[in-house]
Amino acid sequence: MQQPRCLRGLLSHLAPLAYLGHFPRASAFSAPSSRSVSRSTMSDGEPKAKKHKPDSDSLDIHRRLEKTRQDEAESILDFKFNKKRVEMLSKADEVPDCDGIVYWMSRDQRVQDNWAMLFAQRLALKYKVSLHVVFCLVPKFLDATIRHYHFILKGLEEVESECQKLDIPFNLLLGEPVDVLPDFIKNHNIGGLVTDFSPLRVPRRWLKEVKKAIPQNIPMCQVDAHNIVPCKKASDKQEYSAKTIRKKIHDKLPEFLTNFPPVIKHPYKSKEENEAVDWEAAEKSLEVDQTVKSVEWAVPGTQAGHDTLNEFCLKRLRKYATQRNDPNVNALSNLSPWLHFGQVSAQRCVLEENYDRIEGAYQWAITTLNNHKKDPRPYLYSLETLMEARTHDELWNSAQIQLVKEGKIHGFMRMYWAKKILEWTASPETALETAIYLNDRFSLDGRDPNGYVGCMWSICGIHDQGWGERNVFGKIRYMNYDGCKRKFKIDGYVSRYGGKKHKYIPPTK
Alpha carbon 245 to its chain centroid, in Å, reads: 24
Range list of H helices, 301-447: 302-311, 317-323, 336-340, 346-352, 363-371, 383-387, 394-406, 411-424, 428-442
CATH of the domain at 465: 1.10.579.10
Q: Indicate the pTM of the whole model.
A: 0.72
Q: What's the total number of domains in the chain?
A: 2
Domain boundary, last residue among 242, 263, 284: 284
89 lies in some domain = yes
- 130-137: strand order across its sheet: 86-88, 220-223, 190-196, 100-105, 130-137, 170-174
327 lies in some domain = no
pLDDT of res. 237: 80
**Cα separation of 129 and 190, whole Å?**
9
67 lies in some domain = no
259 lies in some domain = yes
300 lies in some domain = no
Averaged in consecutive runs of 10 residues, what is the pLDDT profile of the chain (509 residues)? 41 39 30 37 39 47 90 94 96 94 98 98 98 98 93 97 98 98 97 95 96 96 95 82 80 90 97 93 96 93 95 85 88 92 94 81 90 96 97 97 93 95 97 94 78 89 89 97 95 95 87
pLDDT of res. 463: 75
Q: How far, in Å, are 23, 209, 371 from residue 181 at the CA level?
A: 41, 10, 51
Cα angle, residue 289 at apex, residues 285 and 290 outer, rounded to 5°: 80
Residues present in the chain in total = 509
Residue 66, classified by CB atoms within 10 Å of its CB into exposed (0-12), middle (13-18) or buried (19+), is middle
123 and 238 co-located in one domain: yes
**Phi–psi pair at 199, nearest 5 degrees:** -85, -5
Q: Which domain holds residue 85?
A: 75-284
Domain boundary, last residue among 284, 317, 346: 284
84 and 116 co-located in one domain: yes
Range list of H helices, 325-410: 336-340, 346-352, 363-371, 383-387, 394-406
39 and 81 co-located in one domain: no
439 and 477 co-located in one domain: yes
46 and 133 co-located in one domain: no
159 and 270 co-located in one domain: yes
The amino acid at 352: E
235 and 199 co-located in one domain: yes
456 lies in some domain = yes
**Cα separation of 225 and 103, whole Å?**
12
45 and 135 co-located in one domain: no
pLDDT of res. 11: 45
Residue 132, classified by CB atoms within 10 Å of its CB into exposed (0-12), middle (13-18) or buried (19+), is buried
